[in-house]
């Protein structure tokens, strides 16, 4: 890893409209503390997730001008082979984590889509759902280990640009860490859905039964936007 590798990774991985919109707002200095942590982990032999070439995957799969909805979580999964650069998503073939299992359970209950046997949410990204975490990297076995390194400021810039530039977006903030970012959303233009985190520790306190998927599509229709196809299997 060389100095400035995260700024370079964002520039290479994100779609052209994201890099253009943030060209005057991002610099290598924004990532300096995060890079120090990642390089320290590398020296100490501690894995970090996701891999560098997956950290900004969401910005490649969901260009700025195609974002219809943001689903904001906390930080990536901290076990091997799980995190893939999309909040809550795991690659096909990996056991579905409990939080995602609750999301898929609510999907089935809300809009009667049969829960898939895998947890890869890439199709949602391609439908215009920006799957983002408030913290975008993590050390193995250490949830929240990369908080307050700079990711929160980066995500704030992302959401502020999105709120400013796009005509209508549904912002879904699940959990207390995500809810802090409500300040980035212009509620005179956009819909803000603030909810309980889908973790088994909290899902029964308001996530299950909240019907977020139908609410998102109804709001998109009201604002003249096409709805999201939430299916994850043919």
* 52 burial type by CB count under 10 A (0-12 exposed, 13-18 middle, 19+ buried): middle
The pLDDT value recorded for residue 89 is: 98
Q: What is the pLDDT of residue 233?
A: 80
pLDDT of residue 100: 97
pLDDT tens profile 182-211: 999 999 999 999 999 999 988 888 899 999
Question: Hey, is 161 helix, strand or coil?
Answer: helix
- Asked if CATH classification 3.40.50.720 holds for the domain at 5-222, the reply, yes or no, is no
Sequence-distant contacts of 195-199: CB under 8 A, at least 24 apart: 197/73, 197/74, 197/99, 198/88, 198/99, 198/100, 198/102, 198/103, 198/106, 198/174, 199/98, 199/99, 199/102, 199/175
Whether the pTM exceeds 0.75: the reply is yes
Asked if residues 133 and 85 have their Cβ atoms less than 8 Å apart, the reply is no
The low-confidence residues of the chain, meaning pLDDT below 50, are: none
Of 75, 110, 120, 186, which residue is the catalytic one? 75
pLDDT for the residue numbered 234: 66
75 is catalytic: yes
């Amino acid at each position: 890893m060389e100095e400035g590798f995260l700024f370079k990774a964002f520039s290479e991985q994100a779609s052209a409209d994201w890099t253009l919109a943030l060209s005057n707002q991002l610099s290598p200095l924004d990532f300096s503390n995060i890079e120090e942590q990642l390089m320290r982990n590398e020296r100490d032999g501690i894995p970090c997730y996701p891999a560098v070439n997956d950290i900004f995957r969401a910005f490649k799969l969901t260009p700025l001008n195609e974002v219809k909805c943001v689903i904001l979580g906390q930080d990536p999964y901290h076990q091997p082979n799980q995190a893939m650069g999309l909040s809550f998503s795991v690659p096909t073939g990996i056991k579905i984590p409990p939080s995602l299992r609750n999301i898929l359970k609510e999907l089935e209950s809300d809009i009667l889509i049969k829960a898939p046997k895998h947890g890869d949410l890439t199709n949602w990204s391609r439908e215009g759902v920006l799957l983002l975490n408030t913290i975008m990297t993590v050390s193995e076995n250490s949830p929240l280990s990369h908080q307050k390194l700079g990711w929160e400021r980066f995500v704030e810039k992302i959401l502020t640009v999105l709120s400013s530039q796009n005509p209508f977006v549904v912002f879904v903030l699940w959990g207390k860490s995500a809810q802090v970012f409500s300040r980035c959303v212009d509620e005179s233009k956009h819909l803000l859905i603030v909810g309980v985190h889908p973790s088994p520790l909290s899902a029964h306190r308001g996530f299950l039964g909240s019907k977020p998927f139908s609410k998102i599509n109804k709001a998109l229709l009201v604002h003249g936007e096409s709805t999201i196809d939430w299916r994850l299997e043919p």
